[in-house]
Structure 1
Amino acid sequence: MPAKNPEAPEALEFLATRLSQPAKMFTAPVPSHEELAAILQIALRVPDHGKLEPWRLIVLEKPDFIRLADLAEARAKELGADAEKTEKARGQFDRGLMAVAVISSPKISDKIPQAEQVLSAGALCMNLVTVATAAGWGANWLSGWPSHDAVFRARAFGCSAEESVAGIVHIATPARAFTDRPRPDPARVVQWGLGG
């Protein structure tokens, strides 16, 4: 039996009550560069399959969001999007204060499947949300349709054809406390064994 971790009850209580808060409700202040660097240092402790590091991070601040909003609107118009879709494209960027774009950047490997490398980028997004929340900030993992558009990704984040946006994790001050939502019932989604 493993040795008991004396901090486990507090850590488990935090994880059991962690909430994602709506980024559109975030306000200033945002983490300083030093505070964000400390969050990133911890968040980067994710499975990366033998130090492949199949991702890269871009810290976004207010001037970046203005540029991204304009790029998203321009791309929406190129695609003939209606007003609602165009506003949705601009929306998360117009309201953004600080975020980290996690770019999935798989490496060529005979040993590590690309799918596992992409999952590593998703694990990094979740770790970033968890660490930022533990540090007292509001955090929300978003993407939005422009992030899944190859032309927008290339213009906005310099993505190659092999890269994708795993997520844009907004980090700032939550405007108010939020109540929890219903969570999955383990009895409904967990299967014990393969049967037979």
Structure 2
Amino acid sequence: MDALELLLHRRSQPRLKAPAPKGEVLENIMQAALRAPDHAALTPWRFIICEESGLQKLGALFEQSAIDNGKSEKEIERAPQLPLRAPMVIVAIAKYTENAKVPRIEQVASASCAVMAMQMAAIAQGFNGIWRSGAYAQCDVVREGLRVGEEDEIVGFLYLGTPAFDTPIAPARNSADYFERLI
């Protein structure tokens, strides 16, 4: 798949099955993350790969979060199953470093770029994924369980695996609805 085709037809895939990326394919995905824009070479990222028992541990954190936050019984029951929707979940964390030239928002944006780069690398190699965030990314139970620093931010959970079905191509959007020229 050529790079332009990849970018123009990128689409998240919520239905994922085994196998997960591994070996050289996974290394390519990790290396793609490390090529994200990085002003002042701060390397403002940290990634946690969850597979097998790691998915269970992440699910346990989600479950404890649901309990501690007074969620419904249904949500508490569902919480430990959430990471099991894919054979691999990569937790992406923006690791903040105070820097006069690189504001916090730019460091979070860098970590976010790394997530997209990982998904693109996965798709380019025949896998796919979906980037999820939500309340668990902001919850202290999850943050503490993953040793996320007070100033750091979980930018998302990248679910990766083999697409369970072909991902349909989304219709193109009209760029004029989103772009304007400053003259």
The alignment's TM-score, normalised by the length of structure 1, stands at 0.85
Q: Is the 8 A contact 2:32 2:114 kept in 1?
A: no
> Equivalent residue for 1:82?
72
Matches within 5 A, 1:113-128: 113-128=103-118
2: CA distance, partners of 1:21 / 1:93: 15
Q: Is the 8 A contact 1:89 1:144 kept in 2?
A: no
Q: Is the 8 A contact 1:89 1:146 kept in 2?
A: no
Q: 9, 12, 15: which one pairs with 1:17?
A: 9
1: CA distance, partners of 2:165 / 2:26: 21
> Equivalent residue for 1:3?
none
> Equivalent residue for 1:167?
156
> Equivalent residue for 1:4?
none
Matches within 5 A, 1:26-175: 26-87=16-77, 89-155=79-145, 157-175=146-164
* Secondary structure at the counterpart of residue 50 of structure 1: helix
| Superimposed CA distance per residue, residues 55-98 of structure 1 (whole angstroms, 9 cap, x where no aligned partner) | 11111111111111122112211221113433553342133311
Matching of residue 191 in structure 1 with residue 183 in structure 2: no
* Secondary structure at the counterpart of residue 20 of structure 2: coil
Could you list the runs of 5+ residues in structure 1 that have no partner in the other structure?
A: 1-8
In structure 1, what residue type is equivalent to 2:7? L
Could you list the runs of 5+ residues in structure 2 that have no partner in the other structure?
A: none
Task: State the identity as a percent.
Answer: 33
Cα 1:111–1:68 change in 2 (3 A) is same
2: CA distance, partners of 1:80 / 1:182: 40
Aligned residue-pair number: 183
Q: Is the 8 A contact 2:56 2:83 kept in 1?
A: yes
1:192 to partner: Cα distance = 1.1
Structure 1 runs (4+) greater than 2 angstroms displaced? 83-92, 180-185
Q: Is the 8 A contact 1:106 1:163 kept in 2?
A: yes
2: CA distance, partners of 1:66 / 1:12: 37
The alignment's TM-score, normalised by the length of structure 2, stands at 0.90
1:193 to partner: Cα distance = 0.9
CA RMSD in angstroms, aligned pairs only: 1.9
1: CA distance, partners of 2:118 / 2:167: 19
Which structure carries more relative contact order (alpha carbon 8 Å, separation 6+)? 2
Between stretches 27-36 and 123-132, larger displacement belongs to 27-36
Cα 1:44–1:51 change in 2 (3 A) is same
In structure 2, what residue type is equivalent to 1:111? K
Q: Is the 8 A contact 2:83 2:89 kept in 1?
A: no
